[in-house]
Amino acid sequence: MRKHIGMIVLALLVMLVLLLNTVVQKVNYTQYVLIKTFGKTTSVYDGRQADQAGLKLKWPWPIQKVVSYDARTHVFEDQHTELPTRDKQNILLTVYSAWRISDPARFHTRAVTVETGQDRLRDLLRSAKKDVIGRHYMEELVNTDPQRMQIPRIEQEILELLRRQAQDSYGVQIVSVGIKSLSLPEEVSGAVIDAMQEERRRDIAKYQSAGEAQAQAIEARARSASAQIIAFAQRKAAEIRTEGDRQAAGYYAQFARNEQFSMFLRALESLKTELASKSVILLDASQHPAIGFFRNGPSLEPFNRPVAAPAAQDAGSRAQPATPPNAAQAQ
């Protein structure tokens, strides 16, 4: 008898473990656990809640049955399908979705397994993306101008539509939806490229027209400003010329008293200008008027005395010979 005590104890321990396994259920922190009594769900445990995780007592099968689901987020992607846009253009689109179970009891009733539920969500996603893409134009998906592309808005519309359907139908929370890839069918690519080129040509024409209009406006303003500046300069020149003529008229009246001496002063100014560069200049005394004046001795009749009448000068000349002026009289 003593020889079999160890075997008996071991057998009892195994039976106890098996018994505990039938009446105790462990709830992991990443699981939903459903307890079904005679086929009806009677208890639901959410392992993410600290007070619901751990060991739970239950009746052994066939009284109660345990169903568990992964409470973490699942990700799947739809097939690369061809969809029409609002302007009757076709695109090839692949969309992915992240989801997790939010109502395990409803999910178990409607989908039973994760694989089945994911297949049904894929059908809902395919329907949602078709409805949303059909409401948008091609240029909102494919465009050289980033401001005109509406991909984030399209993704949000698909998310909202899929979220309502998935929650109501399967107790699933859609975490996110995104466009993974977007391409054009071969027969559509050429037409789209031609349309984009035509759009670029229209933009070029618009910018050229705007540039030409701005250039014409700038030229018009420049011509107007130039005309105003020229008119002001001409008016100022006329005023300066008038003032010069007025002042010159006074000098002319003085120079008229002794024209020969005036020509002599003019010749001196000419010599001053010619000799300003400190160059050696050889002049012909018979040709240069200033040297001729010095040689011939110009008349230095004072400017402040009126010129005598011709008859009086003739009389004076017969009465007394003229004396040549000296340097002091010239100054």
Residue 45, domain member (yes or no): yes
**157 in the same domain as 110:** yes
> Nearest to residue 33, comparing CAs of 54, 17, 14?
54
pLDDT at 326: 39
Which residue range is the domain that position 142 belongs to? 74-184
Q: pLDDT value at position 222?
A: 93
- Give, to the nearest 10 degrees, the angle between helix 151-170 and helix 114-133: 140
Considering the domain boundaries, does residue 189 fall inside one? no
Return the pLDDT at 124. 92
We report the CATH number of the domain holding residue 116 as 3.30.479.30
Per-residue pLDDT of the chain (331 residues; tens, 9 = 90+): 566 676 666 666 767 666 666 777 777 888 888 888 887 877 888 878 878 777 777 777 777 788 889 889 999 988 888 888 998 888 889 999 999 999 988 898 888 888 999 999 999 999 999 999 999 998 898 887 888 889 999 999 999 999 988 988 899 999 999 999 888 877 666 666 777 778 888 889 999 999 999 999 999 999 999 999 999 999 999 999 888 888 877 777 777 777 777 777 777 777 777 777 666 666 565 555 555 555 554 544 544 445 444 444 444 444 444 444 433 333 3
**Distant-in-sequence, close-in-space partners of 260: CB < 8 Å, separation ≥ 6:** 293, 298, 299
**Are 80 and 112 found together in one domain?**
yes
* SS3 state at 284: coil
- Confidence (pLDDT) at 46: 84
Q: Is residue 192 part of a domain?
A: no
The verdict on residue 190 lying in a domain is: no
Q: Please tell me whether the overall predicted TM-score, pTM, comes out greater than 0.75 for this model.
A: no
Domain count along the chain: 4
Q: Within a domain: residue 135? A: yes
Please report the pLDDT score of residue 245 as a whole number.
82
Is 191 a domain residue?
no
For residue 171, is it within any domain? yes
82 domain-assigned: yes
Does 289 lie in the same domain as 210?
A: no
Q: Cα dist. 225→71, 90, 212, 221, 245 in Å?
A: 78, 57, 20, 6, 30
